[in-house]
Amino acid sequence: MHRHEGPSRGKFAAGVTVAVVLAVAAAGALIGKYGERPPWGTDIAYEGGYVQASRIRGYDTDGSRTRALLDGECALMERQGMGGERAVHDPAAWVEGCLDGAAGRPSRNQGLVR
């Protein structure tokens, strides 16, 4: 006979059960705190605005659209719902990202450490 090293099946099952219960409780706490908004929603909103303005800036041949973005069109676009689902997470961050993208500044989320 060869004996198995490690916890018995009962102890192993109890340990797995405790781990699952703790994971479900942690997920429930996060959902309770943030609801539909993910914990990183501000970063999502900022990047959404940044990407949208960067695309507009990239296709703007005469610079008129970029100037309009910087002169208030970013805020107008957000108010009109053109930011989409990402802007809903944090409208102010979306506008900030839009302004940074229109100005050609690097994203504040760039790099490994913020």
Percent helix, strand and coil across the chain, each to the nearest 5: 70, 0, 30
111 occurs within a structural domain: no
pTM assigned to the model: 0.67
97 occurs within a structural domain: yes
**What is the pLDDT, as a whole number, of residue 19?**
95
Q: Are residues 20 and 46 in the same domain?
A: no
Q: Are residues 54 and 96 in the same domain?
A: yes
Number of domains in the chain: 2
66 occurs within a structural domain: yes
Residue 89: give the domain boundaries.
41-103
19 occurs within a structural domain: yes
**What is the pLDDT, as a whole number, of residue 114?**
47
61 occurs within a structural domain: yes
Gap between the Cα atoms of 68 and 77, Å rounded:
11
Q: Are residues 16 and 53 in the same domain?
A: no
Q: Are residues 92 and 52 in the same domain?
A: yes
Q: Are residues 18 and 70 in the same domain?
A: no
**What is the pLDDT, as a whole number, of residue 1?**
65
Per-residue pLDDT tens digits of the chain, which is 114 residues long: 677 777 788 888 999 999 999 999 998 887 777 777 777 888 889 999 999 999 999 998 899 999 999 999 999 999 998 888 888 888 999 999 999 999 988 888 775 444
Q: What is the 3-state secondary structure (H, E, C) of 47-86?
A: HHHHHHHHHHHHHCCCCHHHHHHHHHHHHHHHHCCCCHHH
Q: Are residues 98 and 50 in the same domain?
A: yes
**What is the pLDDT, as a whole number, of residue 50?**
94
Q: Are residues 83 and 30 in the same domain?
A: no
Q: Are residues 31 and 45 in the same domain?
A: no
